[in-house]
Each structure stands twice: as C-alpha cells, then as structure tokens.
Amino acid sequence: MIAKELISTSIQPVRTSDTGEEVLQKMQIYHVSHLPIVNKSRILGIISEEDILINDPKEPVGLYRLTHHQAFCKERDHIFDLMTKLGTLQLSVIPIVDEVKEIYLGVVTLEDLLKYFAVHFSFTDPGSIIVLECSNHNYLLSEIIRLAEADDISVLSSFITSIPGSNKIYITLKTNAQDLNAYKASLERFGYIIHASFSDTEYSDSLLDRFDSLMTYLNI
C-alpha cells in the first residue's frame, strides 16, 4: 500500500488569505488539528492549532510563522513512511504530492491510516499475541516463522521495537493459534526470551473494547 491509495480529497487545503478563525472552523469540521496551506497546487507548509493560538486568529495565516514547512510525503511513499512522519512530527494529516513536480494531491489522515492498519494487519483476527525479547544480532525472522510452522502455527503479522541505546529488541507476533505453550517452549530453546503473551481467551473482550473505543474516538 502506497500513499496515493489512501489520499483523501474531501479535506480542502487552507489558502494564505484564510484567517486563523476560518482555519479553526475547518479543523473542527474535518476533526483534525493540522491542515496544509496550498497556493496554486504548491504546498507551502502545514498549519496547526498551536500556530493559530500563538498568533492573532483574525489575521490571514499567510502572515503566520509555521511550525512545519517541509512536512509532506510523495504519492509512491509506503504507508510505513507516512506513519513514521505522522508519528515523528505528531501530525493529524500529512500532505501528499506527486513524484515529479511536487504538486499537491491531497492528504492522508492519521484516522484513515489507523483504520487501514486495524483492518489489514490482522489486529482483529482471532488468535494470540506473543512478544519476544532478543539481541538484534540474534534476530532471525525466518527462524521464528520456521519454529511456528513446526507447531502448525501461522504468524499473521510481526512488528519490531528497538530500545534506544541498547542492542535489545522486542518482536511482537500476531498468530492464528490460541495455545502458544509448545511454540513458546521452542522459542526458549533457541534463546528467545518470552517477554509477554496474550491469548484470545483471556484478552479478546478487552481488545475488542479498546478497538471499538478507538474507532468511536476516530469517528467523533
């Protein structure tokens, strides 16, 4: 999945002549806290609620000094790149431009990106979650999957979390199995530390409640 497949054109960009008050009204309508400023299909930057609040809301936003000037992604950037930029800059939208002339195409919202991850990355599929701890030098995804398949378990998705200032990593696996005891024993024999595990029978109601709460919040 790449950026252009998630572009929303229903969110209209801001013009430099718009006042801060007008932009705040747009943010309330779109349920976002950031909007791109575009002039003749050129992205000038992103305006945030904070930018408006520290300036005169009655003035045109073209007079404001913006926090984010070069915050955008290109249409063929992977969704992981979008998530990285949204998370790093703490944005609610990220503008998307074309590959050649960097012409503004629309935005991808954090809401749409989270919904995509929730639906397509097996978060709501039945199964269990296991979190492994190991050194990044000893990490072999092929070995982890091979051990799972030996126990008739499929790994539906995986994520790696690095620990700053350390060579330690956490590997989070979503599997299709309810009982992970044999798999955990196999992993421990190969030197992996079981940091945590969560089974559907213990946590399904809680996870579904949290997922529903997230979707309700995003739809506010």
State pLDDT tens for residues 80-109.
Answer: 889 889 988 999 999 999 998 999 999 999
Q: Which two tokens stand for residue 81?
A: 């790149």
Identify the CA nearest to 95 among candidates 147, 143, 161, 47.
Answer: 47
Cα–Cα dist 168/163, whole Å:
6
Angle at which helices 141-150 and 181-189 pack, to 10 degrees?
140
User: Where residue 33 falls among pLDDT bands split at 50, 70, 90?
Assistant: very high
CB atoms under 10 Å from CB of 193, counted, come to 12
Model pLDDT, residue 118:
74
CATH H-level, domain 3-117: superfamily: CBS-domain (3.10.580.10)
Who has greater pLDDT, 216 or 5? 5
**For the chain, domain boundaries:** 3-117, 124-218
Homologous superfamily of 124-218:
ACT domain (3.30.70.260)
**pLDDT category, 151, cuts 50, 70, 90?**
very high
pTM beyond 0.85: the answer is no
Q: What is the pLDDT of residue 63?
A: 93
Q: Which of 25-39, 166-180, 193-207 has the lowest mean pLDDT?
A: 193-207
Q: Flag whether pLDDT at 220 surpasses 60.
A: no
